A and B are shown apart, each in its own frame.
Chain A
């Protein structure tokens, strides 16, 4: 089972709302990732968790707050977003965070900020 599940698939939120994106994997992977992808652009790394600890934050604004409650779950809490934050948010996981591990992606959550 090589599956990363993301919910919701689509989310529309106002600039004053608080919402969360959720990601789950049951492959025993110990590294989990959040990527942001704008239309016709490549995914851009936001955060990396390794063994449930945040190991990389690519200078992401604080209105995005990641959380890794356990090794299978990864959340992205959203608050006071801007319309330019509208994008496809991709969750991914890999066996470990070391080089050579294949990264498996979920289908993504389409976020629209109005």
Chain B
């Protein structure tokens, strides 16, 4: 069954703007990770946030986690055309152990 679900499924913004993507999940998790995938390529790990953390930063990326709402958000600030990609959240569900489940993804287009 699908664990994470991203919102929106597609997002188009201008270069320099901020992009926010949301992820919701159903079961209790140990951690949540965000990945980027350029068209037809492998997935690149962006950030991992553990269930006892509320916010993490990495460069222009800011991830929040609200376990009470079972949701996470990924904020990309000052977006660039090179940020154009699909972004996936993936959850390491507590009950599933090592079964690592991806959400459907958000396709981000950053227009120059």
Chain A contact residues, CB within 8 Å of chain B: 4, 31, 33, 40-45, 48, 50, 55-56, 88, 90, 92, 97-100, 102-108, 110
The reply to whether A100 and B92 form a contact with Cβ atoms under 8 Å apart is yes
- Work out how many contacts link A and B, with CB atoms closer than 8 A: 61
The reply to whether A100 and B30 form a contact with Cβ atoms under 8 Å apart is yes
With an 8 A cutoff between CB atoms, is B59 at the interface? no
> In the complex, A48 Cα to B48 Cα: how many Å?
20
Known pairs A55-B98, A56-B99, A100-B31; list 19 more (Cβ under 8 Å).
A4-B42, A31-B98, A41-B104, A42-B102, A42-B103, A42-B104, A42-B105, A44-B102, A45-B99, A45-B101, A50-B98, A56-B98, A90-B42, A97-B98, A99-B97, A103-B45, A105-B44, A107-B41, A110-B40
Q: How many residues of chain B are within 8 Å of chain A by beta carbon?
A: 26
> Which chain A residue has the least Cβ–Cβ distance from B94?
A99
Task: Output the least CB separation between A56 and chain B (Å).
Answer: 6
Residues of B within 8 A of A55 (CB): 98
With an 8 A cutoff between CB atoms, is B43 at the interface? yes
The reply to whether A98 and B98 form a contact with Cβ atoms under 8 Å apart is yes
With an 8 A cutoff between CB atoms, is B64 at the interface? no
Chain B contact residues, CB within 8 Å of chain A: 30-31, 33, 35, 40-45, 48, 50, 88, 90, 92, 94, 97-105, 107
The reply to whether A45 and B31 form a contact with Cβ atoms under 8 Å apart is no
> In the complex, A31 Cα to B104 Cα: how many Å?
24
The reply to whether A102 and B48 form a contact with Cβ atoms under 8 Å apart is yes
> In the complex, A15 Cα to B17 Cα: how many Å?
48
Residues of A within 8 A of B45 (CB): 102-105
Residues of A within 8 A of B104 (CB): 41-42
Residues of B within 8 A of A107 (CB): 41-42
